[in-house]
């Protein structure tokens, strides 16, 4: 959209509208470059360990809720569409359309966070939380040529992981030849990477809410101010893009089936009492 076709106030520290619009866009692109560097380091570390411990990371991925992840992917893609429509609405001066699409983006993003919180809760319920907690478990060992049963301290995470991977839809290679301590490393990456993404989502929803308040007050009545929606959309699209990397890296590197995904999502929203 050419700067000459838009009208509105030019801030005192800019010479003209073209310079103002270009500076706003450049500032956001510069910020996104720093974000790429930030996430890039985490992705590189994950990739290195994924190459070193393929079986262990596949086992960890098999224990994740791919059903919730699939629905969340749809929600983010839909939110990318609504925020793009918000740019157009702001540019043509459609204040009603602007507020409607900003609100839809906020709702879709909030739904994503709600499902993600539910997923974290289910992981916590099942004991898939990295840590040093141990529980006593009976094991059979051989002593003096006889098999006896003794109690030994076993990491709580190891037991929880074994239970999850024994379920029907995980039978196969997923629960064989894995080291629980390395699977715990996978979950540390899972929680840190998705946690960073959630943090960026929360910030994005906060900024979108502020822009919705500004839209209601008539701030975007000036045509040139569509650029603030545009740069916000760049941030939102970046957050969506990060998720598109997290999805295959974390959720799809282990064995999953479509029926498993459906069952997991139904269970997450209370329509089924099956396994996670």
Q: Is the residue at 193 inside a domain?
A: yes
Do the Cβ atoms of 92 and 170 come closer than 8 Å?
no
Q: Is the residue at 201 inside a domain?
A: yes
The CATH number assigned to the domain holding 192 equals: 1.20.120.80
Report the candidate in 256, 207, 198 with the shortest Cα–Cα distance to residue 229: 207
Do the Cβ atoms of 151 and 29 come closer than 8 Å?
no
Give the model confidence (pLDDT) of 118-172 as tens digits: 999 999 988 888 887 777 666 666 666 667 666 666 778 888 888 888 764 555 5
Give CA separation, 201 vs 32, 44, 78, 112, 208, in Å: 14, 22, 15, 9, 10
Give the model confidence (pLDDT) of 211-270 as tens digits: 999 999 988 888 888 899 999 999 999 999 999 999 999 998 877 777 777 777 777 777
Total of domains in the chain: 1
Q: Is the residue at 143 inside a domain?
A: yes
Give the model confidence (pLDDT) of 14-45 as tens digits: 667 778 778 888 989 999 999 999 999 999 99
Compute the distance between CA of residue 65 and CA of residue 256 in angstroms, rounded to an integer. 10
Q: Is the residue at 3 inside a domain?
A: no
Do the Cβ atoms of 201 and 239 come closer than 8 Å?
yes
Q: Is the residue at 21 inside a domain?
A: yes
Q: Is the residue at 28 inside a domain?
A: yes
Q: Is the residue at 4 inside a domain?
A: no
Domain of 58 in residue numbering reads as 14-268
Give the model confidence (pLDDT) of 49-85 as tens digits: 999 999 999 999 988 989 999 999 999 999 999 999 9
The pTM of this model reads 0.86
């Amino acid at each position: 959209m050419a700067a000459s076709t838009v009208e509105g106030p030019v801030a005192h520290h800019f010479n003209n509208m073209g310079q103002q619009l270009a500076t706003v866009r450049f500032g956001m692109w510069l910020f996104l470059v720093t974000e790429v560097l930030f996430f890039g380091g985490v992705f590189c570390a994950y990739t290195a360990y994924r190459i070193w411990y393929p079986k262990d990371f596949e086992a960890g991925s098999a224990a994740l809720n791919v059903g919730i992840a699939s629905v969340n992917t749809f929600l983010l893609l839909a939110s990318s569409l609504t925020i793009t429509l918000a740019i157009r609405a702001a540019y043509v001066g459609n204040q009603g359309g602007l507020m409607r699409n900003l609100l839809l983006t906020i709702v879709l993003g909030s739904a994503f966070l709600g499902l993600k919180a539910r997923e974290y809760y289910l992981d916590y319920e099942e004991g898939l939380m990295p840590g040093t907690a141990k529980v006593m478990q009976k094991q059979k060992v051989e002593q003096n040529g006889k098999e006896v049963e003794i109690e030994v301290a076993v990491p709580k995470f190891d037991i929880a992981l074994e239970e999850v991977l024994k379920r029907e839809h995980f039978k196969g290679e997923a629960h064989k030849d894995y080291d629980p301590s390395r699977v715990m490393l996978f979950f540390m990456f899972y929680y840190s990477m998705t946690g960073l993404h959630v943090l960026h989502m929360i910030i994005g929803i906060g900024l979108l809410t502020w822009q919705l308040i500004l839209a209601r007050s008539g701030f975007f009545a000036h045509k040139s101010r569509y650029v603030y929606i545009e740069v916000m959309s760049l941030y939102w699209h970046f957050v969506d893009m990060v998720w598109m990397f997290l999805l295959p890296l974390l959720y799809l590197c282990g064995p999953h089936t479509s029926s498993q995904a459906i069952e997991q999502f139904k269970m997450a929203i209370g329509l089924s009492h099956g396994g996670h």
